[in-house]
C-alpha cells in the first residue's frame, strides 16, 4: 500500500529532484525547445512543496488535485498544463483515498497519462513525455498482473520510463516546439520524457526509503 504520507513525501522529494536537475533539463530543452523546462518544473514543484503544508492532512485525491492546480497556475510553457492535468486526473480517481493498492496506483497513473494524451494529443514516437509514459505503464501493468507488489511494479515502470526516455534520442519530433526543427531534432533526448522518468524514480525512491 502507498499511504498519503508517502504521497506527500514523494512530492517533496520530487521538488528537490527537479531543483537539482534544473540545469540538466534546461540544457536538454535548449537543444530542441524553449530552454525553460528545467526552470519551469523546478519553480512549479517548489510551489507544490509550499502548498503541501496546507493539504498534507487531507486525502490523496485532494493532495493530487491541489498539486495539479498549483502546477496549472504557476508553470508556463507546455509542462504546466500537461503535468497539471496529470495530477488533476490522478486526483479524480483517488478521491477520499487514504492509501493506494498496487491496482489503485496503476489506475491513478493511467488516468494521469490519459489526461496528458488528451491535452497534448501526442502518440507514441512523437518524441514527447508520452514516449516514457507508455512503456512505463505497460511494464507496471505486466508486473501487477503477475502479482508483484507496488515497489516491484514501480521498479519495472522506472526501467520502462528510462528505456522510453532514451528511445526518444533518435526520433524526429512531431509535436510541440521541437517539431519545428524537423530533422535537426534527431539526436536529442526529450526533456519531457526525462522529467517523467525523474518523477517515477522519485516515487520509487520514496517507497523504498519508507
C-alpha closest to that of 163 among 138, 126, 182: 138
187 contacts: CB under 8 Å, gap ≥ 6? 169, 170
* Residues 88-121 pLDDT 10s: 999 999 999 999 999 999 999 999 999 999 999 9
What is residue 141's predicted lDDT score, i.e. its pLDDT?
98
Domain extent at residue 202: 2-209
Under the phi-then-psi rule, with left for phi > 0, alpha for psi from -120 to 50, and beta for the rest, what region is 187?
left
**pTM (predicted TM-score):** 0.96
Number of structural domains the chain divides into = 1
What is residue 34's predicted lDDT score, i.e. its pLDDT?
85
3 φ/ψ angles, rounded to the nearest 5 degrees: -85, 165
C-alpha closest to that of 95 among 124, 130, 63: 63
Report residue 76's pLDDT band, with 50, 70 and 90 as the boundaries.
Answer: confident
Q: Give the CATH number for residue 9.
A: 1.25.40.340
Amino acid at each position: 500500500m502507498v499511504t498519503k504520507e508517502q504521497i506527500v513525501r514523494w512530492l517533496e522529494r520530487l521538488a528537490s529532484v527537479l531543483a537539482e536537475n534544473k540545469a540538466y533539463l534546461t540544457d536538454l530543452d535548449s537543444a530542441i525547445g524553449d530552454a525553460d523546462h528545467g526552470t519551469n518544473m523546478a519553480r512549479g514543484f517548489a510551489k507544490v512543496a509550499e502548498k503541501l503544508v496546507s493539504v498534507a492532512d487531507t486525502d490523496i485525491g485532494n493532495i493530487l488535485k491541489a498539486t495539479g492546480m498549483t502546477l496549472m497556475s504557476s508553470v508556463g510553457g507546455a509542462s504546466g498544463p500537461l503535468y497539471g492535468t496529470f495530477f488533476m486526473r490522478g486526483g479524480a480517481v483517488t478521491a477520499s483515498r487514504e492509501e493506494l493498492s498496487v491496482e489503485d496506483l496503476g489506475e491513478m497513473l493511467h488516468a494521469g497519462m490519459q489526461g496528458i494524451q488528451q491535452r497534448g494529443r501526442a502518440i507514441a514516437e512523437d518524441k514527447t513525455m508520452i514516449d516514457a509514459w507508455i512503456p512505463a505503464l505497460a511494464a507496471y501493468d505486466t508486473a501487477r498482473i503477475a502479482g508483484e507488489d507496488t515497489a516491484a511494479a514501480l521498479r519495472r515502470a522506472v526501467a520502462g520510463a528510462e528505456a522510453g526516455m532514451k528511445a526518444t534520442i533518435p526520433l524526429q519530433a512531431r509535436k510541440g516546439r521541437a517539431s519545428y526543427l524537423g530533422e535537426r531534432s534527431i539526436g536529442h533526448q526529450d526533456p519531457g520524457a526525462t522529467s517523467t522518468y525523474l518523477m517515477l524514480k522519485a516515487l520509487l525512491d520514496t517507497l523504498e526509503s519508507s
